[in-house]
Structure 1
Amino acid sequence: MTIKVLVADDHAAVRAGIVLILDGHGDIEVVGQAADGEQAVAMARELRPDVVLMDIRMPKLDGISATRELSEVTDVLILTTFDIDEYVFGALRAGAVGFLLKNTDADALVEAVRVVARGDGLISPSVTRRLISAFGAAVPERRPYDEHRPLGVGGPTPGAGGLTPREREVLACIGRGMSNAEIAAELDMAEATTKTHVSRLLNKLGLRSRVQAAILAQELSSGT
């Protein structure tokens, strides 16, 4: 299967470099390039790519706002120079399924596109450490919802009471950082069935991505 990719970045040279990297692989096809957030949203809705590589700082509509509009349409992989917390947590709350820095090498970028296209999530190692740190921080009491607060810290935790026993098992596996293929092997079912369970539990829990599901699973298992 050819993975259709839309590249959204306001710098033409950056877009050209990304396209050059991706087009060198037979299983990936760049179907469009967007120079701002509004164009990215319009093109993604028209072209229906499997993955959108999204910059954050763009004119007209920033990458986080664009991701929020597209999270129900396609999978968004953030690719940015900036890994400040406001962007990391904002992108994940908006529904991004991955977050990479632009200093990622070419091979890792290509593999990230493949991972996201398979339905799995992927986050830059340096960002992962900060997510773990934020999740592990002691929170004495719940606070009102704040979209800029780290996922899993100080906000209301939705319950998993509406999930089937199998969906609960899948959620627990997601919380352990397992891919769809690993979950399928662990629970002895087809990978396509795993994808269906993941999609259904995200819908039931009102979550935008498996990254959010993983953090919720950690919250539920720790009782926070």
Structure 2
Amino acid sequence: MPDPPAPPAAVQPLFPPPPRPAPVRVVVADDNPVVRAGLTALLSGREDITVVAEAADGREAYEAAARHRPDVVLLDVRMPGVDGLTALPHLARIARVVMLTYSHEAEIVQASLRGGAGGYLVHGEFTAEELASAVRDITRGRAHLTPTAATAVLAHLYTDATAHAETDPLPLFPVTSPNRLSQMQPLMGQSAGEHDGEPERARAREAGTRSRLSAREAEIMDLIASGMNNQQIAATCFISEKTVKNHINRIFAKLHSASRSEATATWLGTAPGAAHRGVG
């Protein structure tokens, strides 16, 4: 009896699929252990990203980067010991660095970019998916800036352009200074005399209102003003929703507000009578 025919050999694809790229290797540097744990959990849950080490200050970040040779370092600005700005130039020689911080001052943003950072992300201005995309894109040389950081960069460019315009007798186009840009909207349709000194008074009111709240309460109030709900605030700050509610109750009491919209109006200086209300 003849042997049964052999089963057909498996058909080999003409063009085999390309090998899966190695995951992006990340070091997370932040002095807050809750923030570090949250970022590590968020990023490690993705197939193409892995956190290879955590660090509590700039020195630990440098040691971890020298040991693990990551693709990206997520670096906080303000840390005890060696801070982020001090460690940045050393880290930038080893890996691409993204500042991931609550610090949003224009001077710090500009100093970070001059120091070699490839991106600047301010907590509360990005989603989890946007963070992961930023980590991926940074490895391809694409800079990422959240809105506050981008505004700081544009202000710096406007300042430079204005300085050049003052020495150029024939500028190619008119340049408007950042201060003038910020004042154009409220001045629309009104005489200049009605608003003399208003920017200074607005800044004084904002400083007075902020002085009522603790640093954490101010951070949460900024997130409320941006339109975030309690769940989003909890995820951004790596705290529970109950803790968020407790902070909001204290914020409402300090701002003499009964709702999120009322608190936001007071916080942003748009509440009725804000121009004459005391800030103490």
Q: What's the TM-score, normalizing by structure 2?
A: 0.49
Percent of residue pairs bearing the same amino acid type: 39
1:139 matched residue in structure 2: 163
Question: How far, CA to CA, are the matches of 2:60 and 2:142 in structure 1?
Answer: 26
Question: How far, CA to CA, are the matches of 1:28 and 1:67 in structure 2?
Answer: 22
1:115 matched residue in structure 2: 137
Instruction: Write the letter of the residue equivalent to 1:14.
Output: V
- Give deviations 1:4-26, integer Å, cap 9, x for gaps: 00000000000001011101100
Establish whether residue 125 from structure 1 lines up as the match of residue 147 from structure 2: yes
- Measure how far apart 1:53 and its partner are: 0.4
- Give deviations 1:165-204, integer Å, cap 9, x for gaps: xxxxxxxxxxxxxxxxxxxxxxxxxxxxxxxxxxxxxxxx
* Cα RMSD for the two superposed structures: 1.5
- Measure how far apart 1:129 and its partner are: 2.3
Instruction: Write the letter of the residue equivalent to 1:105.
Output: T
Structure 1 residue ranges without an equivalent (≥5): 143-224
Say if 2:106 and 2:153, in contact at 8 Å, map to a contact too: no
Question: How far, CA to CA, are the matches of 1:116 and 1:9 in structure 2?
Answer: 19
- Give deviations 1:93-148, integer Å, cap 9, x for gaps: 11000000111211111111011022221111222122112211211589xxxxxx
1:53 matched residue in structure 2: 74
Question: How far, CA to CA, are the matches of 1:130 and 1:35 in structure 2?
Answer: 27
2:209 matched residue in structure 1: none
Question: How far, CA to CA, are the matches of 2:57 and 2:148 in structure 1?
Answer: 27
1:92 matched residue in structure 2: 113
2:86 to 53, 65, 69: 65
Q: What's the TM-score, normalizing by structure 1?
A: 0.61
Q: How many residues align?
A: 142
Question: How far, CA to CA, are the matches of 2:111 and 2:154 in structure 1?
Answer: 16
Query: Whose relative contact order is higher, 1 or 2, with alpha carbons under 8 Å and at least 6 apart?
Result: 1
Look up the SS of the partner of 1:139 in the other structure. helix
Question: How far, CA to CA, are the matches of 1:116 and 1:45 in structure 2?
Answer: 19
Say if 2:27 and 2:51, in contact at 8 Å, map to a contact too: yes
